[in-house]
């Protein structure tokens, strides 16, 4: 059931079209993450939902009510900001209770709510402190607490973890995931960090240049991207993209050459007409290093050891570099000649308009 | 060795500053203890604390102290309250914001003497002043501001002069206020008034303290406006300490009593500073 519905949302700045017709439906209790490169409009979209930016067309409906023109104070949404935006002159307790006091809720009830939130976020020892006496992680928890205490219809998060150091970020990410499980409230989360997007989201919305590129579960986006943009954006290290040549069309096969190695691609995995030019996308983990008789050969340029795995950057004959995932204890040396096997099953094909034209075979 | 060189190098400026301060102060103290009237040259005998007695028992003394404090507090309240309100109003972008800001700041560039002349002759004059014209066109008797409400006239002039300073400080301070905090408050259901009350005012606590302290220094010594407009009168109705001292020294030619008055003014300034800093200093530690 649709809870938050965005229809053809438009936003113009003076000379800049920030949102170009956003359509999105979010169901109740869902954790939706907006992700995209800088300037793609993800923060603008969130701020427009929050009512901090006015829209120039389209509608936003929340729980069956049109809130497009409503003041943000009346939308019943809570937002956690990147800078935390705690009120500097108030104690943590006053920060938590600010919205409740404005809403003229009885004192006893306020105290009860503040107490339960501060207990669940371990803020009890900090209640009498001012924000500047807190560490980054503590401020973040207060900001989240301030949002929770109001029991809003939707939580909005605007890159809430980007000011934290790496270790704390991982910890807060887990806490957020737990929180969502516990509260079951709809959450909309903006980030530029695809790891946050992949780990937190029920559904990820990938934005590019003010438009939605693709919406789907993290795994869907990873395995079945709609476009080259999504394929390249999701996944670290990036997907390898190699132009194919010597294309031959056959009744049941689509045949092309990848640096001299001929690949037979089943025709039933091609959407529509067989194209005349094609770019082959393959993720590093679907390439493997073999001793001999590989599909491709190349020379190792650099090996990145990550402990649990290693990524080899390999230069192919035509100077193109591809990345191959190798085992953790690989004995590869720079400059070494290697053979690479390609897992044809996992190949994704793009046409010259950067659209995906291949279908992943359904697992039997 | 190193320390003595540092001291040696600093010595010239320290000594200069010390001399700069010590000589006028000690001369004032010296003059305040001798008989020093320009009408009786040569009779400069030591008189002890008699000059202080003369100054304190002067019929103008009590009104002058009262007027100094009333002037100080009124102008402080007017400039801080109006300053905060006006700066909050012009903080949001609107058409003509630049011009409005410049106009609001510009009275600060007008020298006190000219300021007093403008108010005396163009605004408050009972015959051809703008206030008189307004009164006349509404069918009221024009008010002779300078003789009917002398102290209030001075307060208006000085406030007009110092409001721009307050606005300048507050506008700058408001620009450093975090917009995300205001947005967070909006999301929390705060109205514009709530944001002003719970975020803007606390944010301005420190600038307010600064404005109060700096204005206090200058307002205790207001002179030009009184000299040009009311001349301290009628009677002692608009005489403050600075004007009373001037009156003693240059109208009654009694340098000794004027010096005693000057020392009393230093004392008063310290007392006022002590209370004001205690009152607003709390905000400085935030």
Break chain B into its structural domains and give their ranges.
59-284
- Over range A56-80, report the average pLDDT: 88
Q: pLDDT over 90 for what percent of chain B?
A: 20
**B260: nearest Cα among B66, B57, B31, B64:** B31
* Weakest mean pLDDT among A24-38, A136-150, A234-248, B151-165: A234-248
List, in sequence order, the alpha helices (H) in chain B: 2-32, 50-57, 61-89, 97-105, 112-117, 130-137, 145-148, 150-175, 179-187, 192-195, 201-219, 224-228, 241-246, 255-284
For residue A4, pLDDT over 60 is answered with yes
> Which of A79, A87, A88 minimises the CB distance to B187?
A79
Return the CATH number of the domain spanning residue range A240-350: 2.40.50.140
Residue of B nearest to A143 (CA): B184
> Which of A72, A77, A85 minimises the CB distance to B181?
A85
Sign of CA dihedral B126, B131, B137, B143: negative
ipTM over cut 0.85: no
Report the top-level CATH class of A2-227: alpha beta
**Residue B155, pLDDT score:** 93
* pLDDT band for position B85 (cuts 50, 70, 90): very high
**Residue B284, pLDDT score:** 56
Residue of A nearest to B182 (CA): A85
List pLDDT tens digits, range A227-283. Answer: 999 998 888 888 998 888 878 888 788 888 887 788 888 888 888 777 888 888 899
**What is the secondary structure of A244-260 as a DSSP string?**
-EEEEE-SSEEEEEETT
> Which of B183, B189, B202 minimises the CB distance to A102?
B189
Residue of A nearest to B204 (CA): A89
Please report, for chain A, the start and end positions of each structural domain, with discontinuous segments joined by +: 2-227, 240-350
Do the chains contact at B186 and A52, CB–CB below 8 Å? yes
For residue B270, pLDDT over 80 is answered with yes
For residue B4, pLDDT over 90 is answered with no
- Over range B172-190, report the average pLDDT: 89
pTM above the 0.90 mark?
A: no
- Say which residue, A115 or A246, is predicted with more confidence: A115
**Residue B1, pLDDT score:** 64
**Residue B283, pLDDT score:** 59
Instruction: Give the phi and the psi of residue B176 in degrees, each rounded to 5.
Output: -90, 0
* pLDDT band for position A364 (cuts 50, 70, 90): very low
Does domain B59-284 correspond to CATH entry 2.60.40.10? no
CA distances from A326 to A289, A290, A304, A316, B227 (A): 7, 10, 10, 17, 90
> Which of B189, B198, B286 minimises the CB distance to A73?
B189
Asked if residue A242 lies in contact with residue A295, where contact means CB atoms within 8 angstroms, the answer is no
Residues of chain A neighbouring B178 (CB-CB closer than 8 A): 83, 85
Residue of B nearest to A81 (CA): B180
- Say which residue, A358 or A86, is predicted with more confidence: A86
For residue B194, pLDDT over 50 is answered with yes
**Residue B286, pLDDT score:** 47
List pLDDT tens digits, range B40-52. Answer: 877 788 887 888 8
- When scoring A43, A48, A51, A72 by the number of chain B Cβ atoms within 10 A, the one with the most, hence best to mutate, is A72
Other beta carbons within 10 Å of B20: 10
Instruction: Give the phi and the psi of residue A57 in degrees, each rounded to 5.
Output: 145, 150
């Amino acid at each position: 059931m649709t809870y938050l519905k965005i229809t053809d949302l438009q936003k113009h700045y003076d000379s800049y079209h920030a949102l170009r017709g956003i359509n999105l439906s979010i169901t109740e209790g869902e954790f939706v993450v907006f992700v995209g490169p800088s300037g793609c409009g993800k923060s603008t979209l969130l701020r427009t939902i929050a009512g901090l930016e006015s829209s120039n067309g389209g509608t936003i409906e929340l729980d069956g009510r049109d809130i497009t023109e409503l003041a943000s104070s009346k939308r019943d949404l809570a937002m956690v900001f990147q800078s935390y935006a705690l009120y500097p002159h108030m104690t943590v307790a006053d920060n938590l209770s600010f919205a409740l006091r404005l809403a003229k809720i009885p004192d006893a009830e306020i105290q009860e709510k503040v107490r339960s939130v501060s207990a669940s976020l371990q803020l009890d020892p900090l209640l009498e402190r001012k924000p500047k006496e807190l560490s980054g992680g503590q401020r973040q928890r207060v900001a989240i607490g301030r949002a929770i205490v109001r029991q809003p219809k939707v939580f909005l998060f605007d890159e809430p973890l980007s000011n934290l150091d790496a270790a704390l970020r991982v910890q807060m990410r887990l806490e957020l995931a737990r929180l969502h499980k516990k509260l079951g409230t709809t959450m909309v989360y903006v980030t530029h960090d695809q790891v946050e997007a992949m780990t937190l989201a029920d559904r990820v919305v990938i934005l590019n240049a003010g438009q939605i590129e693709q919406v789907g579960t993290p795994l869907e986006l990873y395995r079945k991207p709609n476009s080259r943009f999504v394929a390249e954006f999701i996944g670290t290290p990036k997907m390898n993209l190699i132009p194919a040549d010597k294309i031959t069309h056959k009744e049941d096969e689509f045949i092309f050459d990848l640096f001299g190695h001929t690949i037979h691609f089943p025709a039933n995995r091609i959407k529509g007409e067989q194209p005349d030019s094609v770019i082959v996308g393959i993720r590093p983990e679907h390439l493997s290093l073999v001793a001999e008789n590989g599909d491709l050969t190349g020379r190792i340029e650099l090996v990145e050891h990550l402990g649990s795995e290693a990524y080899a950057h390999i230069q192919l004959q035509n100077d193109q570099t591809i990345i191959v995932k190798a085992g953790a204890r690989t004995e590869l040396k720079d400059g070494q000649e290697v053979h690479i096997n390609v897992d044809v099953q996992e190949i994704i094909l793009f046409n010259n308009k950067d659209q995906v034209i291949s279908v992943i075979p359904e697992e039997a | 060795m190193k320390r003595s060189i540092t001291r040696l190098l600093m010595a010239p400026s320290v000594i200069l500053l010390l001399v700069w301060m010590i000589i006028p102060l000690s001369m004032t103290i010296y003059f305040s203890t001798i008989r020093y009237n320009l009408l009786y040259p040569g009779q400069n005998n030591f008189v002890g604390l008699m000059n202080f007695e003369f100054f304190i028992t002067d019929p103008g003394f009590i009104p002058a102290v009262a007027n100094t404090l009333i002037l100080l507090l009124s102008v402080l309240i007017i400039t801080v309250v109006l300053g905060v309100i006006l700066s909050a109003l012009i903080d949001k972008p609107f058409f003509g914001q630049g011009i409005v800001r410049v106009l609001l700041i510009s009275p600060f560039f007008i020298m006190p003497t000219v300021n007093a002349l403008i108010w005396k002759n163009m605004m408050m004059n009972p015959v051809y002043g703008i206030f008189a014209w307004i009164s006349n066109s509404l069918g009221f008797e024009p008010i002779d501001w300078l003789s009917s409400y002398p102290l209030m006239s001075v307060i208006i002039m000085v406030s007009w002069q110092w409001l721009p300073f307050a606005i300048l400080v507050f506008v700058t301070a408001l620009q450093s206020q975090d917009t995300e905090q205001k947005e967070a408050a909006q999301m929390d259901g705060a109205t514009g008034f709530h944001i002003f009350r719970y975020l803007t005012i606390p944010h301005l606590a420190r600038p307010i303290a600064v404005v109060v302290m700096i204005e206090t220094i200058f307002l205790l010594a207001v002179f030009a406006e009184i000299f040009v407009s009311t001349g301290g009168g009628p009677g002692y109705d608009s005489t403050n300490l600075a004007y009373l001292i001037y009156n003693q020294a240059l109208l009654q030619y009694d340098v000794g009593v004027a010096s005693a008055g000057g020392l009393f003014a230093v004392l008063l300034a310290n007392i006022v500073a002590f209370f004001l800093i205690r009152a607003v200093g709390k905000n400085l530690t935030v």
